[in-house]
């Protein structure tokens, strides 16, 4: 099923109202975009990575996002994750690259056992690698075009987490309910960091309300912004770099009226 537009509007308003602090331990390739998209949405990012400070920093945050693209910061993720779990904060785990790296997959499994993430979000290939515990592709890009929803449900139920497989259709499940998000645009797959930005935005939404509906709302919100950005990029005959900047612009410019209008179009 697909989430109703009203829930997206409600949570987007709450983020702007509360300005939740989102602690992001993410990779150097996308750290700037991740910080900027959170600011654009109305949240407040902090990107502390040092193991000696992350527990203190995450203690004052509403949510923690751990991105395995920053695998060198595993100790920091472990410490921050345990503190966030202890305090009942939302935790988002992005298993970047586990489809092509046995080491990352093993470390990902360790984090899942130790920090009990609220949500795990990856592309189809990464989620399949997690479910099957094996390499599925080389690199960080997705090659899989589908995902086994029943296996996702079983995994999410066993781990007591919200599991998201991002692709042409985002599949979101907590082991019981299943939401599908068909929003977005293919240009999102042609810029570095669209997945990382989605994960930190999940931190903002789940840090406001730790439910599967909030996770689905985030996926839809990101997709709607991607659609709007693609339209504006086409209008000005821009390419992927233009799209990247306009995408973050659209996050900052999104309104309830635009959300409802786009929902009526599809």
What are the binding residues for ATP?
Answer: 121, 166
Specify burial of residue 4 (Cβ count, 10 A radius: 0-12, 13-18, 19+). middle
Q: List the binding residues for substrate.
A: 47, 193
Q: What DSSP character marks residue 254?
A: -
Place of tokens 């007591």: 160
Residues of 187-225 as b/e, b for ≥16 C-beta within 10 angstroms?
A: bbbebebbbbbbbbbbbbbbbbbbbbbbbbbbbbbbbbb
DSSP per-residue codes, 77-94: HHHHHHHHHHHT-EEEEE
What residues have CB less than 8 Å from 143, skipping those under 6 apart? 125, 136, 137
Place of tokens 């810029």: 191
d(C-alpha 194, C-alpha 216), whole Å: 16
Q: List the binding residues.
A: 47, 121, 166, 193
């Amino acid at each position: 099923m697909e989430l109703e537009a009203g829930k997206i509007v409600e949570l987007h308003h709450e983020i702007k109202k509360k300005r939740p602090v989102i602690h992001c331990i993410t990779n150097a390739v996308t750290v700037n975009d991740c910080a900027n998209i959170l600011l654009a949405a109305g949240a407040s990012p902090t990107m502390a990575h040092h193991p000696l400070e992350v527990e203190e920093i995450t203690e004052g945050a509403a949510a923690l996002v751990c991105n395995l693209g920053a695998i060198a910061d595993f100790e920091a993720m472990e410490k921050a994750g345990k503190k966030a779990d202890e305090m009942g904060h939302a935790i988002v785990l992005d298993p970047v690259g586990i489809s092509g790296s046995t080491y990352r997959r093993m470390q990902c499994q360790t984090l899942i056992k130790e920090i009990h993430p609220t949500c795990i979000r990856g592309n189809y290939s990464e989620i399949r690698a997690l479910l099957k515990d094996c390499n599925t592709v080389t690199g960080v890009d997705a090659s899989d075009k589908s995902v086994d929803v029943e296996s996702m449900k079983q995994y999410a139920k066993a781990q007591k987490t919200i599991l998201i497989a991002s692709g042409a259709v985002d599949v979101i499940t907590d082991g019981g309910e299943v939401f599908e998000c068909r929003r977005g645009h293919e240009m999102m797959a042609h810029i570095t960091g669209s997945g990382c930005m989605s994960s930190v935005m999940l931190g903002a939404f789940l840090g406001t309300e730790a439910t599967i509906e909030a996770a689905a709302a985030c996926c839809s919100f990101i997709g709607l912004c991607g659609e709007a950005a693609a339209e504006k990029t086409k209008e000005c005959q821009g390419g992927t770099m233009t799209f990247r900047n306009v995408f973050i612009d659209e996050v900052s410019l999104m309104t309830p009226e635009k959300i409802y209008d786009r929902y009526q179009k599809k």
